[in-house]
Amino acid sequence: MVMKDLTIGKLAKRAGVTIDTVRFYERCGLVAEPERTASNYRIYSATEVARLQFIKKAKSLGFSLNEIKDLLILRHTSEATKAEVKSRVEGKIRAVKAKIIDLSHILEDLEKLNQSCSGHGSADDCPILEALDNGEAKEHVCH
Amino acid sequence: MVMKDLTIGKLAKRAGVTIDTVRFYERCGLVAEPERTASNYRIYSATEVARLQFIKKAKSLGFSLNEIKDLLILRHTSEATKAEVKSRVEGKIRAVKAKIIDLSHILEDLEKLNQSCSGHGSADDCPILEALDNGEAKEHVCH
DNA sequence: ATAGACCATTGACCATTGTCTATAGTCCAA
DNA sequence: TTGGACTATAGACAATGGTCAATGGTCTAT
């Protein structure tokens, strides 16, 4: 039997999020609907602190709330395998790498643009603005 | 005197955007309010095609619509200097670099996480899920 | 003349991740 | 008992960049 003695405010404080965020996560299904006191206050056990920290950590690694929801389900599904978890992480690794490559191309283009311009004089004949006028827009879109 | 002979549909098609997008850009002030025919149709000259392509190109380089708005103003301000334009580009270069560094840190963390797990067996004792439970969430936030 | 393609406006809606407001009920300490 | 802190709900609002629907007017080719 776990002690349920945390109000939403205490839970939020311990996990380092706001009360609004906890309720928002509840609406999204990231945090289960908790029991209520007689006066309808939500009460939580300390395990919910861990769950919120899990969410925070995963978010900081670039997982979206939907992806985190999947991870949380895996975490509590006894048939889940390490392979499934690992493949989520590997998918995210691929996505992050793709994003980095994409940004690197953008960076290259920006640096070329920047080098084309002396930075002196009126913008009337600014090579940067001219380049923006002419070139075909490359698509650097992440799918 | 420039020929104004493009309906919004033709303009959009030439620039490679949708009609909705043109009207949206007009609302946002990225595209000027055009003249109208007697029947209230918008009519454009070919210079607006160039303007839309400018927007597209700048967007592909990671500029937001607001930033593009600024660039467009610079482009048509006679007092504007190359230095001003260049400094916008340099700011964007800094931002893109920061984003890349940020993602690189995330990638590192993800790869560490991934290497910690063999990928075999039940997720009950998955080191990835355990790591997400424990670790302090690092902030990889771009400001 | 009429169908089909085009254009007009207003306003709602999409995803994402919350944040804030208004109104009202609850709990605790002095 | 009373004031301040806490909690409840529903729903609006934020930013970004559009997209779509509903309703109705216009243009053009047959």
Backbone angles phi, psi at A116, to 5 degrees: -75, -10
Separation between Cα atoms, residue B68 and residue B60, nearest integer Å: 11
pLDDT at B142 over 80: no
> Does B133 reach chain A within 8 Å, measured CB to CB?
yes
In the structure, how far is the CA atom of residue A87 from the C1' atom of nucleotide D3, in angstroms? 55
Question: Is A40 within 7 A of strand D by CB distance?
Answer: yes
Question: Is A88 within 7 A of strand D by CB distance?
Answer: no
Question: Is B64 within 7 A of strand D by CB distance?
Answer: yes
Which strand (E) or helix (H) includes residue B45? Answer: strand B42-45
> Does A81 reach chain B within 8 Å, measured CB to CB?
yes
Q: What does pTM read for this prediction?
A: 0.81
Q: What is the mean pLDDT of residues A33-50?
A: 95
Contact by Cβ (8 Å): A16, A25: no
Contact by Cβ (8 Å): A105, A141: no
In the structure, how far is the CA atom of residue B127 from the C1' atom of nucleotide C1, in angstroms? 76
- CA trace torsion A38, A40, A46, A47 (10° rounding): 110
Q: Could you tell me what percent of chain B has a pLDDT over 90?
A: 44
In angstroms, the separation between the Cα of residue A64 and the nearest Cα of chain B is 14
Secondary structure (3-state) at A3: coil
- What is the crossing angle of helices A82-115 and A65-75, to 10°? 160
Q: For position A129, what pLDDT does the model report?
A: 83
> Does B47 reach chain A within 8 Å, measured CB to CB?
no
Task: Give residue-wise pLDDT tens across range A52-102.
Answer: 999 999 998 888 999 999 888 888 777 778 899 999 899 989 988 988 998
Separation between Cα atoms, residue B95 and residue B89, nearest integer Å: 10
Task: Point out the least confidently predicted range of A42-46, A80-84, B63-67.
Answer: A80-84
Task: Give residue-wise pLDDT tens across range A1-30.
Answer: 667 789 999 999 999 999 999 999 999 999
> Does B84 reach chain A within 8 Å, measured CB to CB?
yes
